[in-house]
Chains A and B, each alone.
Chain A
Amino acid sequence: MHDQLRLTIDGVNVTVPQGSTVKDAIEATNQSVPTLCWHENLEPANACRACVVELKGSRVLVASCSRAAEDGMEIQTTTERVLNSRKLVAELLMSTSNADLAFDLQHLAEITGANPGRFSGGATWERPLQDDNSLYVRDMAKCILCYRCVQACGEDAQNTFAISVAGRGFEAHIDAGFGRELPESDCVYCGNCVAVCPTGALIGKTEWNLRQEGRWNEEGLTRTDTICSYCGVGCALTLHVLDNRIVKVTSPADHPVTHGMLCVKGRYGYEFAQVEGE
């Protein structure tokens, strides 16, 4: 058993500790790995395949986000097969889903030279907006089925299991069961699904309203870190403030207590702070 693993990434030697992934090893050479479904605090879903790389001896490409690094691995990250797969992933997702707020997907399309319209014209994920509660909106036409929300709702964070992937194949989708509305589901409105969503398919109601009105201004946001005062756990909060109003609350993904996850009070209980005059 080695404590350290030695790999070559595009011909460059790199040493990483036991337990690292191939992605970790690639990043140790100062390269970045494109990802869509991967999230630092969730189990890899292996679903998007944007992070695939060529591993010597492997017939197919491997997902670097989840593949454990092994001593002696030889990895190629810029071969024609890798670039073709990454480009196709971007093109396929662009052909089904509204990528307006999917910044990682837009980035993938950009770096791979994808032609977003290449496979368009067929079936899409267009579906009606679900606006059934006062805290967040579900615009599943933007969904890329990364599984992050299901994991955050389930065993990786909240343990509520209010949503699951349902259906199969092209019809697979996120569902609380028979498409039912959230108030009828097991949802506890912790908003952790919203926090991990990479495409804006799940979005806070305040942000969504402001975007609808054309008043959302990313550059104008200020962010202030504080500690949640609702209970004694000590969750770190980042208050996103626009025009002197709190418009969103998140928690730093690297915070040792929260790992980016909050409860309904921490995430959505901010309105009282800005009730004026009473």
Chain B
Amino acid sequence: MHTEQAAINVRVSALLEDLPKERSQLLPALWRVFEEYWLLEPEMIEAISNAMGVPYAEVYGVASFYALFDNPEGCRPIYVCTDVMCALRGSEDLLKSGQVGAKGTPVSIKGAPCLGYCDEAPALFDGKVTKTQVTQDALAQLIRGEKHA
């Protein structure tokens, strides 16, 4: 546990090395660490707290505010929009089929509020890019692709 924390501290401070150590850089700092691990566990919050000089409880308070940082499984998240316009085009079934298909893979399929691609529904966000007019086959391929990656 202790050595793990030390290793994370080293990695996090390297990730944040060039960021100004200001409170206003907390969100960019959280992004960098999140994209390195795809999760924010107590050890990472502790390391960010140390590196940025922001109290632990406050780092957690900020991180837990944002939906995109809520990924405790640490799997690569794929967000399927289940809001009105995408749901009209079958995104709820898409979400279900994805969740079944993702079992046992390093991918987790989550529902998401409106992704802002209502004109090309249904849409998903794979953590890096948005894909539109997604079919169940396309999602299955995406999940399989992640498995090999």
CA distance A176 to B49 in the complex (A): 13
Complex CA gap A250/B130 in Å reads 56
| Pair A177/B57 contact, Cβ less than 8 Å | yes
Q: How far is the CB of B89 from chain A (nearest CB, A)?
A: 27
Given contacts A162-B55, A186-B55, contact A177 B60 (CB under 8 A): yes
Given the interface pairs A178-B42, A178-B45, A180-B42, the reply to whether A185 lies near B64 with Cβ below 8 Å is no
A168 interfacial contact with B, CB 8 Å: yes
* A185-B55 Cα distance, complex, nearest whole Å: 10
Contacting B57 at CB < 8 Å: which of A161, A167, A168? A161
User: Could you tell me the distance in whole angstroms from the C-beta of A170 to the nearest C-beta in chain B?
Assistant: 14
Residue of A whose beta carbon sits closest to that of B67: A168
Contacting pair B57 A186 (CB below 8 A)? yes
A163 touches B57 (CB 8 A): yes
Cα(A167)–Cα(B65), bound, Å: 5
Does residue B145 face the partner (Cβ distance < 8 Å to A)? Answer: no
Which residues of A sit under 8 angstroms from B60, Cβ to Cβ?
164, 166, 175, 177-178
Chain A residue contacts of B104, Cβ below 8 A: none
Q: Say yes or no: A177 contacts B65, CB within 8 Å.
A: no
B60 nearest CB neighbor, chain A only: A177
**Contacts between the two chains (Cβ within 8 Å), count:** 45
Q: Is the beta-carbon distance between A185 and B57 smaller than 8 angstroms?
A: yes
B56 interface hit (Cβ, 8 Å): yes
State the CA gap A177–B61 with chains docked (Å).
7
| Residues of B close to A160: CB separation below 8 A | 55
CB-defined contacts of A164 to chain B, threshold 8 Å: 55, 57-58, 60-61
B126 to chain A, nearest CB (A): 23
Do B56 and A186 have beta carbons less than 8 Å apart? yes
Interface residue? A188 (CB, 8 A) = no
| Residue A264 at the chain B interface, CB threshold 8 Å | no
- In the bound complex, residues from chain A placing their C-beta under 8 Å from that of B55 are 160-162, 164, 186
Asked if A227 is an interface residue, CB under 8 A from chain B, the answer is: no
Smallest Cβ-Cβ distance to A153: which chain B residue? B57
Q: Is A47 an interface residue (CB 8 A)?
A: no
Cβ contact within 8 Å between B45 and A161:
no
Write out the residue numbers on chain A whose beta carbons fall within 8 Å of the beta carbon of B59.
177
Chain B window 43-64, contacts with chain A (Cβ cutoff 8 Å), 1 for yes, 0 for no: 0010000000001111111001
Shortest CB-to-CB span from B105 to chain A, Å, is: 26
Q: Which residue of A lies closest to B54 (CB)?
A: A161
What residue in chain B is nearest A161 (Cβ atoms)? B55
B57: chain A residues at CB < 8 Å are 161-164, 166, 175-177, 185-186
Task: Give B42's nearest chain A residue, CB to CB.
Answer: A178
Q: Which of B45, B59, B64: most chain A Cβ within 10 A?
A: B64
Is A60 close to B, CB under 8 A?
no
- Bound Cα distance A176, B67 (Å): 19
The 3 lowest CB-CB distance pairs between A and B, nearest first, are A164-B61, A161-B55, A177-B60
Q: Which residues of A contact B (CB under 8 A)?
A: 160-168, 175-178, 180, 185-186
Interface residues of chain B, those whose CB is within 8 Å of chain A, are 42, 45, 55-61, 64-65, 67
Pairs across A and B, CB under 8 Å, 22 listed: A161-B55, A162-B57, A164-B55, A164-B57, A164-B60, A164-B61, A166-B60, A166-B64, A167-B65, A168-B67, A175-B61, A175-B64, A176-B56, A176-B57, A177-B42, A177-B57, A177-B59, A177-B61, A185-B56, A185-B57, A186-B56, A186-B57
